[in-house]
Amino acid sequence: MSLIEIKGLKKSFGALDILRGVDLQLDAGMTAIIGRSGSGKSTLLRCLNGLERIDAGSIRIDRHQITPTQSDLKSLRADVGIVFQGYNLFPHMTVEKNITLAPMLVKGTPRAQAQDKALHVLSQVGLLEKARAYPGQLSGGQQQRVAIARALALNPKVILFDEVTSALDPELTGEVLKVMESLSSEGMTQILVTHEMNFARRAARTLVFMHQGKVWEHGPTAELFARPQTKELDSFLSSIV
């Protein structure tokens, strides 16, 4: 059974249909979601974390079920983390406190245990020495790595990444992508919306191409890059690769 199963997913904002019947099954590993702006990529990601209420269809992520009328968001978000383009760190808290907050509030983790976990995940993203620093003292790439560490602190089964490098310059982008590759090698399931095609081609096991609010193509990354099955994907890859 697939880790993630999406059936007939629809989402509209007013009269604007964004997701028009998404059907998708994903296994563990790294999945890259690509497509033009407005194709529904980020909305799909936000539905997977319960940040957007779905209008029709269903989502199953491991043991969690999401329908238009059913979802246990607290339980879901403990297992499905999300990292955004904006780092969303609390500027008045140290890096360590930014990371310990969610485990203590969401899972009731004792403070000492949460602090130990914070140091562990900071080590994972290469920022152990920044535990007592404040977000304003960090570069954009470092802040994004702290945001990843914060998501890791809840021991999620899946982490979603929504264009996390789009605001960073190439050097800082490389820092963040290196962390994501490291997590992949450790077995963390990641789903990322990205315009970093070289990274997607190199690191993602599965590629999902969205077009007009639907999954247009999906399969092994190397195969889709080499042999697109539709003119839409072929045109998209030709325009950016």
Task: Read off the pLDDT of residues 23-59 as tens digits, 9 standing for 90 and up.
Answer: 999 999 999 999 999 999 999 999 999 999 999 999 9
pTM of the model: 0.93
Task: Read off the pLDDT of residues 138-165 as tens digits, 9 standing for 90 and up.
Answer: 999 999 999 999 999 999 999 999 999 8
| Superfamily of chain region 4-88+157-240 | P-loop containing nucleotide triphosphate hydrolases (3.40.50.300)
Indicate the domain borders of the chain. 4-88+157-240
- As averages over each run of 10 residues, the pLDDT of the chain (241 residues) reads 94 96 96 95 95 96 92 88 91 97 91 96 95 96 94 94 89 90 93 93 96 97 96 93 60
As given in the structure block, the two tokens for residue 32 are: 């890259």
Vertex 41, ends 162 and 81: CA angle to 5°? 40
CA distances from 195 to 25, 102, 115, 121 (A): 22, 29, 34, 26
As given in the structure block, the two tokens for residue 226 are: 């080499």
Contact 119, 131 (CB under 8 A): yes
